[in-house]
Structure 1
Amino acid sequence: MALVACSRMYNVGPKVRGLWDGLFAWLSEESGIRLEVIAHAAPAPLSELWARPDLGAAFMCGYPFSQLPADERPVALAAPVSTAPWAGGWPAYASHIVAARHAVFDPADLPSLRWGWTVRDSQSGYHAPRGFLAGLPRPRTPVTTVGPLLNPNGVVDAIATGRIDVGAIDAYAWQLLEMHEPEVLAPLRIIATTPATPIPLLVASRRQPAETVSALRQALLRAHRSAQGQSILASLGLSRFAAPDVAAYDSLPKRAQESDRLLAASW
């Protein structure tokens, strides 16, 4: 029976989804593990995907990963290393704080604008912008927020339609759109980029045999060593997959708690 694979977190458009499908097809052949690609499209909860017993490979955000007890987490396979400067050659990412390209406002106005967020357990779409805002001088008034917008495309749409003034977009999702669907980003501009944190990682169900996990993990970790693997990675803006530092994800809840303390009840 095939295991399921899903790139839902980074399915930013049809062309990009096709590239992920190609990576999973390569991974299936290279590892010898049969994988069936599924969409698990929004608004289906990602938590249901991550809990599937037949999960072979899917992206999982670091924040919900860190929230689970160690013995209940999916098994970490590998983490992508972006070629973008904000990654610094490591399995890290950031969030771009974005606004409409022609919107005019002073940076001091940021706390008083309407902020969009994706889902509450998203590091890039919720906790990163809260951390950014917590570091700004601001009036002691609640922040106006709009959400859940579900994903980066929801943030793009909300800015385009005037529902929000600013929002956060996963910097790797932005990179994929910039590479393959730049027209989506044309109405936007980046006004800031948050500090880097551990990037979402590919995980498998804890129910998979150790041999299966090892085959998938090793195939990903050596992808950059073959011409075919390099080509697939380059098409997705990646230099390689790396062994994730699982302990690094445990810093994310502490960052969120600090934002809570600084923002109090304002967001």
Structure 2
Amino acid sequence: MALVACSRMYNVGPKVRGLWDGLFAWLSEESGIRLEVIAHAAPAPLSELWARPDLGVAFMCGYPFSCLPANERPVALAAPVSTAPWADGRPLYASHIVAAQDTAFDPADLPALRWGWTVRDSQSGYHAPRAFLASLPRPKSPVTAIGPLLNPNGVVDAVAAGRIDVGAIDAYAWQLLEMHQPEVLAPLRIIATTQATPVPLLVASRRQPAEVVAALRDTLLRAHHSAQGRSILASLGLARFAAPDVAAYDSLPQRAQEADRLLAAAW
């Protein structure tokens, strides 16, 4: 029986999804583990995907991963290392705070603007921008926050429609769009970039046998050692996959709690 593979978190468009499908096909062949690619398209909850007992490989945001008890988390396989400067050659990512290209906002204006957010358990689309906003001087009036917008494409659409002034887009999702669908980003500009945090990681169900996990993990970690693997990675803006530092994700709930304290009821 095949295990399921899904790139839902970074399916920013049909071309990019095809590239992920290609990576999963390569992973299946190289590891010897049969994988069936599924879409699990929005608005289907990602939590349902991560809980599937037949999950072989899928992206999982670090925040919900860190909020689960250690004995209930999916198994960490590998973490992507982007070629973008904000990754600094490590398995990190950030969020770009974006606005319409024709606006004149700067960081000092941000606390008074209408903010868009994706989903409340997203590090890049909710917690990272809240932590960024909490670090800025703020007016006494509450921040206007609009959501859920579900994903980066929802933020792009909301900015374009004038529903929000600013929103946060996962910097790796932005990189994929910039590489393969730059026309989507043409109406937007980056005002600021948040502090880097551990990147979403590839996970498998805890129910998978140890030998299955080992085969998938080892294949991902050595992807950059072959010409074919490097080509696939390059098409996705990646240098390699790294072994995840699981303990590094444990700081994310603490960061969120500090933002809660500083923002109080503002958002």
Moved over 3 A (4+): none
Where do residues 227-246 of structure 1 align in structure 2 (5 Å cutoff)?
Answer: 227-246=227-246
Residue 56 of structure 1 aligns to a residue whose secondary structure is strand
User: TM-score by structure 1 length?
Assistant: 0.99
Structure 2 residue runs without a partner (length 5+): none
Query: What letter matches 1:170 in structure 2?
Result: D
Residue 174 of structure 1 aligns to a residue whose secondary structure is helix
Aligned to 1:209: 209
CA distance in 1, matches of 2:149, 2:157: 9
Aligned to 1:61: 61
Aligned to 1:43: 43
Aligned to 1:98: 98
Where do residues 212-223 of structure 1 align in structure 2 (5 Å cutoff)?
Answer: 212-223=212-223
Query: What letter matches 1:191 in structure 2?
Result: I
Structure 1 residue runs without a partner (length 5+): none
CA distance in 1, matches of 2:140, 2:200: 33
Write the deviation string for residues 102-125 of structure 1: whole angstroms up to 9, x where unpaired: 112343221110000000000000
**Contact 2:8/2:41 (CA < 8 Å) preserved in 1?**
yes
CA distance in 1, matches of 2:106, 2:45: 37
Residue 103 of structure 1 aligns to a residue whose secondary structure is coil
Aligned to 1:135: 135
Q: CA RMSD in A?
A: 0.5
Q: How far off its partner does 1:7 sit?
A: 0.0
Greater shift after overlay, 96-105 or 106-115? 106-115
**Contact 2:106/2:191 (CA < 8 Å) preserved in 1?**
no
Aligned to 1:11: 11
CA distance in 2, matches of 1:189, 1:259: 25
Aligned to 2:183: 183
> Do structure 1's residue 170 and structure 2's residue 170 form an aligned pair?
yes
CA distance in 2, matches of 1:261, 1:118: 21
Identical positions, percent:
88
Query: What letter matches 1:28 in structure 2?
Result: S
Aligned to 1:33: 33
Query: What letter matches 1:238 in structure 2?
Result: L
Query: What letter matches 1:5 in structure 2?
Result: A
Write the deviation string for residues 52-93 of structure 1: whole angstroms up to 9, x where unpaired: 000000000000000000000000000000000000000000
Query: What letter matches 2:162 in structure 1?
Result: G
Where do residues 64-143 of structure 1 align in structure 2 (5 Å cutoff)?
Answer: 64-143=64-143
CA distance in 1, matches of 2:71, 2:109: 44
